[in-house]
Structure 1
Amino acid sequence: MSTLHDLAATILSRKGADPESSWTANLFAKGPEKCAEKFGEEAVEAIIEAVKGDRAKLTAEAADVLYHLLVMLAARDVTLADVEAELARREGTSGIAEKAARG
């Protein structure tokens, strides 16, 4: 998972940077809503490739989804560690029981 942690750290380092200096800084400058919109677009593209069954294109789109997810989270000050902690909290809990608990 160090690649994701490295990516998350790079993304955080772009927060507040000159929007002309990087794509990530440009996304942050457009606000959390735009970051969420881009995540949604990439998720849809990944879904399309999953349905088509093209493994290479799905892999590429999945990488885009992970990147844009981390950008969206950072835009709202949610860290990868926060998400990992939530996953750890859920470990060993049935998905059905966990979903029912969220109501």
Structure 2
Amino acid sequence: MFTLDDLAEIVDRRADASAEKSYTRSLLEKGPTHCARKFGEEAIELTIAGAAGGEDSVRAEAADVLYHLLVLLRSRGVAFDSVVRELESRTRQSGHEEKAARKA
């Protein structure tokens, strides 16, 4: 089964390729601000699909969001596994408790 870890590894590999051969590399060369904007565009497209689109549209846009999230993380030097560890630490308490702790 294909996982987000697999996708993160692909993004990492493609980040090391040339921009002529790798869309991932071409995004990264434009910098974190560009990568963040691209992620935002994809998130908006998913939001629209989630509100009014069909299952195929939501699935396709969600895939775009996940990919562009990983590219954004890479552009900022944030390892995907560190995000997974953050999520893991948050699941040790209820969502309400975790959110309240962040406000404190």
TM-score, scaled to structure 2: 0.91
Q: Does 1:60 align with 2:60?
A: yes
Conserved? CA contact 2:16–2:25, under 8 Å? yes
| Paired position in structure 1 for 2:75 | 75
**Residues 43-90 of structure 1 deviation map (CA, whole Å, 9 limit, x = unaligned):** 000000010041110000000000000000111111221111011101
Residue identity matched to 1:65: V
- Which ranges of 4 or more aligned residues in structure 1 deviate by more than 6 Å? none
Relative to 1, partners in 2 of residues 1:28 and 1:94: Cα closer, same or farther, differing over 3 Å?
Answer: same
Q: How is 1:22-41 mapped onto 2 (pairs within 5 angstroms)?
A: 22-41=22-41
The runs of 5 or more residues in structure 2 that have no matched partner are: none
Alpha-carbon distance in 2 for matches of 1:51, 1:2: 27
Residue identity matched to 2:50: A
Q: Does 1:101 align with 2:101?
A: yes
| Paired position in structure 2 for 1:14 | 14
Alpha-carbon distance in 2 for matches of 1:35, 1:83: 17
| DSSP 3-state at the match of 2:3 | helix
Alpha-carbon distance in 2 for matches of 1:94, 1:48: 29
Conserved? CA contact 1:8–1:70, under 8 Å? yes
Aligned-residue CA RMSD (Å): 1.4
Identity %: 50
Name the count of aligned residue pairs: 103
TM-score, scaled to structure 1: 0.91
Conserved? CA contact 1:46–1:62, under 8 Å? yes
The runs of 5 or more residues in structure 1 that have no matched partner are: none
Conserved? CA contact 1:16–1:28, under 8 Å? no
